[in-house]
Amino acid sequence: MILYLMCFALFLVGLYGLLTKRDLIKIILSSAIMGYSTNLFLVLFGYRRDATYAILTPNNSGQAMVDPLPQALVLTSIVIELGITALLVALAIRLYQKYGTFDITKMRSLKG
């Protein structure tokens, strides 16, 4: 319960940064924080007490294993997050070259 709440608090910290920061770099970092907290929450949800990792080895045959399904889905989610971060960074660099700043309140003109 307290772990879930701390994860949710981490998500809200990311959301706060996304809503209030002016710097594009901080906004990218905020989206990364939200991604971390979501991934961690899903894996927390699949943990089983006193269970081993979901890989069959001679050491842990017959023991209880943690839920492998959230782990498999989070594996894809982490990789997608890397792609999204790279895309956001590329867009930020492009905006910097156009406007000479990372401040989103100064990016007002729509001229080419």
Partner 1 sequence: MPIESWLIYTLGIMLLGSIVALEIRDILSAIIAIGIVGLAVSAAFLFLQAPDLAIVQFLFEIFALVILVRAFIGKKAHADTLSIHKVYAFLVALALVAFFFLFTPVFRSLPPFGEPLLTTSSHYLTHGPQETGAANIVASIVLDYRAYDTMGEVTVLFTAILGALTVLRMSRQTQKGREPK
Which 41-70 residues touch partner 1, going by CB under 8 A?
A: 43-49, 51-57, 65-69
Query: By CB under 8 A, is residue 71 in contact with partner 1?
Result: yes
How many residues sit in the footprint of partner 1 (CB under 8 A)? 81
Query: By CB under 8 A, is residue 84 in contact with partner 1?
Result: yes
Report 15-44 residues binding partner 1 (CB under 8 A): 15-17, 19-23, 25-26, 28-30, 32-33, 36-37, 39-40, 43-44
Q: What are residue 103's phi and psi, to 5 degrees?
A: -80, 120
**Cβ contacts of 7-12, under 8 Å, gap ≥ 24:** 7/37, 7/40, 7/41, 7/44, 8/37, 8/41, 10/36, 10/37, 10/40, 11/37, 11/38, 11/41
Query: By CB under 8 A, is residue 101 in contact with partner 1?
Result: yes
Minimum CB distance to partner 1, residue 44 (Å): 7
Minimum CB distance to partner 1, residue 35 (Å): 9
How big is the CA angle at 76 (ends 70 and 80), to the nearest 5 degrees?
Answer: 135
